[in-house]
Amino acid sequence: MADWIAVDWGTSNLRIWTMRGETVLDERRGPEGMGSLTPDDYERVLLGHIGDRLPPGRVTPVLVCGMAGARTGWREAPYRAVPCQPAGPGAIPVPTADPRLDVRILPGLSQARPADVMRGEETQIAGFLASRPGFDGVLCLPGTHTKWVQISAGEVVSFRTFMTGELFALLSAQSVLRLSVAPEGLDPQAFREAVSDSISRPEALASALFSLRAGQLLQGSDPVAVRSRLSGLLIGLELAGARPWWLGAQVVIVGSPGVSQPYVQALAAQGLNAEVVSGDSMVLSGLCAAYEGGTA
Q: What is the pLDDT along the chain (296 residues), one digit of tens a residue?
A: 789 999 999 998 999 999 999 999 999 999 999 999 999 999 999 999 999 889 888 999 999 999 999 999 999 999 999 999 998 888 999 999 999 999 999 999 999 999 999 999 999 999 999 999 999 999 999 999 999 999 999 999 999 999 999 999 999 999 999 999 999 999 999 999 999 999 999 999 999 999 999 999 999 899 999 999 999 999 999 999 999 999 999 999 999 888 999 999 999 999 999 999 988 789 999 999 999 876 54
Instruction: State phi, psi for 257 to the nearest 5 degrees.
Output: -55, -40
Sign of the torsion angle spanned by Cα atoms 239, 228, 119, 125: negative
Q: What secondary structure letter does DSSP report for 79?
A: P
Q: In the prediction, which pLDDT does 1 show?
A: 73
Q: How far is the C-alpha of 266 from the C-alpha of 269, rounded, in Å?
A: 5
Q: How far is the C-alpha of 158 from the C-alpha of 240, rounded, in Å?
A: 17
SS3 42: helix
Q: In the prediction, which pLDDT does 292 show?
A: 86
4-132+283-292: CATH topology is Nucleotidyltransferase; domain 5 (3.30.420)
Give 153's contacts (C-beta < 8 A, 6+ positions apart).
136
Chain region(s) in the chain for CATH 3.30.420.310? 161-277
Q: How far is the C-alpha of 90 from the C-alpha of 169, rounded, in Å?
A: 34
Residue type, 95: P
Indicate the CATH number of 161-277 among 1.10.10.10, 3.30.420.310, 3.50.50.60, 1.10.620.20: 3.30.420.310
Q: In the prediction, which pLDDT does 295 show?
A: 53
Q: In the prediction, which pLDDT does 71 show?
A: 94
Chain region(s) in the chain for CATH 3.30.420.300? 4-132+283-292
Residue type, 199: I
Residue type, 203: E
pTM of the model: 0.91
Q: In the prediction, which pLDDT does 289 show?
A: 92
Q: In the prediction, which pLDDT does 294 show?
A: 64
Residue type, 76: E
CA 232 to chain centre: 20
Q: How far is the C-alpha of 32 from the C-alpha of 26, rounded, in Å?
A: 18
Q: In the prediction, which pLDDT does 90 show?
A: 85
